[in-house]
Amino acid sequence: MTTKQVDTKEGLSKEFKFLLAGTPINIDILTPAGQKGRFRTIFIGYLPEQFILIQFPENNKLGNFGQYIVQGNEVIVRGLVEGHEASVIAFSTTIKQTLSTPTRMMALNFPEKMVIHNLRSTKRVLTELDAIVKARDQPLQAMLTDVSLTGCHLEASGGAEDELIEGETINITVNGEDEAQISLEARICNAKVSDQGVELGCQFISEQEAQIEKIVHLALLAEK
């Protein structure tokens, strides 16, 4: 199965032991108007069936979203679960309380359910990751719109339609966690010219498993 959903608090408590204290996580802060800000922070710990503690994101990155870190507001949390089938854990909850000592952190209500995405059973992840596509020597701005362990779809800006053709080998570069670049090779299986540029269906070239897994994990952490 692509995902496993856990619904009971007792079951959630068992799954949380795989999300270790100090693990980097992504959080989405949602505004009443439906806007979403995504921030990087740290998972601190939890008390089973009661609350979860996470660190505040850095103030200089929060911007106007800082005003929405208040009791009752919704937060979506995603984190990489180490040592548990290379999975990503994701859940939605609300802010229970904010704390200023011993460090600035949020206490979140213990969620009613969570979803665990297993990397090896993930067929395809819808995402919106900025990328650079290079065909021969021409770099183009692009967006990775979905990805799996075998291939991906891209929307590339115009300017090199003659080079982005079926059978061509391209290089795809994505900024990973902490701005570390992930780069791999793919072969174009189909290309379609659109108003914005070129839509590409690509197959990853073999012997790049580690890099491919990094991109799939990144897409799961940034899932729409």
Q: What is the pLDDT of residue 75?
A: 94
- 10, 106: one domain: yes
Query: In terms of domains, do 80 and 169 share one?
Result: no
pLDDT at res. 61: 86
pLDDT at residue 122 in the model: 67
Residues 160 and 101 in one domain: no
Q: How confident is the model at residue 171, as a pLDDT?
A: 93
Single pTM value for the model: 0.73
Note whether 105 and 182 are same-domain residues: no
CATH of the domain at 167: 2.40.10.220
Question: Within this chain, do residues 114 and 147 fall inside the same structural domain, yes or no?
Answer: no
**pLDDT attached to residue 97:** 95
Query: Are both 110 and 25 inside the same structural domain?
Result: yes
What are the beta bridge partners of residue 135? 138, 170
Judge whether 214 and 176 are in contact, CB under 8 Å.
yes
Distance of CA 103 to the CA centre of its chain: 26
- Distance separating alpha carbons of residues 168 and 161, to the nearest angstrom: 12
Residue 63 shares a structural domain with residue 155:
no
Asked whether residue 87 falls in the same domain as residue 140, the answer is no
Q: Both 106 and 153 in a single domain?
A: no
The full length of the chain comes to: 224
For residue 24, the cross-strand partners are 42
Q: What does the pLDDT look like over 41-74, one tens digit per residue?
A: 999 999 988 999 999 998 888 888 999 999 999 9
Cβ contacts of residue 126 below 8 Å, gap of 6+? 145, 146, 223, 224
Q: How many CB atoms lie within 10 A of CB 223?
A: 18
Give Cα separations from 75 to 10, 37, 198, 221 (angstroms). 21, 10, 35, 14
The answer to whether the CB of 37 falls within 8 A of the CB of 43 is no
- Residue-level pLDDT at 84: 46
Domain-ending residue, one of 78, 96, 120: 120
Task: Tell me: do 22 and 107 sit in the same domain.
Answer: yes
109 lies in the same domain as 146: no
Residue 179 per-residue DSSP state: G
Give the number of domains in the chain.
2
The answer to whether 135 and 164 are in contact (CB under 8 A) is: yes
Residue 63, domain extent: 3-120
> Is the distance from CB of 222 to CB of 26 less than 8 angstroms?
yes
Whether residues 113 and 189 share a domain: the answer is no
Given 70, 98, 120, the domain boundary residue is: 120
CATH of the domain at 104: 2.30.110.10
Which residues, given as ranges, of the chain have pLDDT below 50? 1, 84
Strand 87-99, strand 105-109: pairing: antiparallel
Q: In a 3-state reduction of DSSP, which class is residue 109?
A: strand
| Domain boundary pick from 63, 94, 120 | 120
Question: Would you state the pLDDT for residue 157?
Answer: 81
